[in-house]
Amino acid sequence: MAFNLDEAIKIANHAVLAKFNRGLTDVEIIVLKGAWQRHEYNQIAAKNQYATSYISQDIAPKLWRSLTEALGEKVKKSNFKEALKRHWEKQCWERQFTSEYYLPSAEPIINHSQQYHSKIQEVSPPLSLTQTEHSLLISELYVERVRIEMLCYETLLQLGSLIRVKAPQLMGKTSLIERVLAKVTKQGYRTV
């Protein structure tokens, strides 16, 4: 899947929805489309029968401010494509990375993890999962660090590579390495 205008609008809309509990307005989408095509604000306004000042002094600044807050990085007309693309790549990576761990048969465990923790002695792992896979699926304590996981994974794909993980106790070092090693093992690599 390639990053294009439609994907950019989806990412922007999703980010704004997640942050502000509202979607992009029609006018904001018009500004995004025009900026994508490198049009000036006066061209965008004229093409869509809006006043130039309305687009350039009201809608566009608010849009870039909203995207800045929603994406967590400075967004403006000159860099919005790159910012949205980084966010899109991160989401693609997260989907790929997590889809390999969350197996369909484990959905009841994930959906009912609160019940699992309250009845920990009563629930046993499904027979189809190894203990490592089971601990990966139910760990609510693990904080996903997609960029670090991706860096570890890419490093381990290099021949003869070694990773050193150093952090205080209870920071998720074991969970991180278990997740990365499980993914590498599924790619056919042997781990030590």
pTM value is 0.52
Q: What are phi and psi of 145, to 5 degrees?
A: -125, 85
Q: What is the pLDDT of residues 182-192, one digit of tens each?
A: 888 887 877 77
Q: What is the mean pLDDT of each run of 10 residues along the chain (192 residues)?
A: 87 90 92 95 94 94 94 92 88 66 41 41 43 52 76 82 83 82 81 74
pLDDT at 170: 76
| Per-residue pLDDT at 26 | 93
Q: Are 109 and 135 in contact (CB under 8 A)?
A: no
At residue 157, the pLDDT reads: 81
Distance CA(171)–CA(20), nearest Å, equals: 30
Res 97: pLDDT:
61
Question: Can you give the pLDDT at residue 149?
Answer: 83
Nearest 5°: CA angle at 13, between 43 and 6? Answer: 65
Q: Residue 61: its pLDDT value, please?
A: 95
* pLDDT per residue as tens digits for the range 97-133: 655 544 444 344 344 444 434 443 344 344 344 555 5
From the centroid of its chain, how far is CA 192?
30
Place of tokens 């500004």: 31
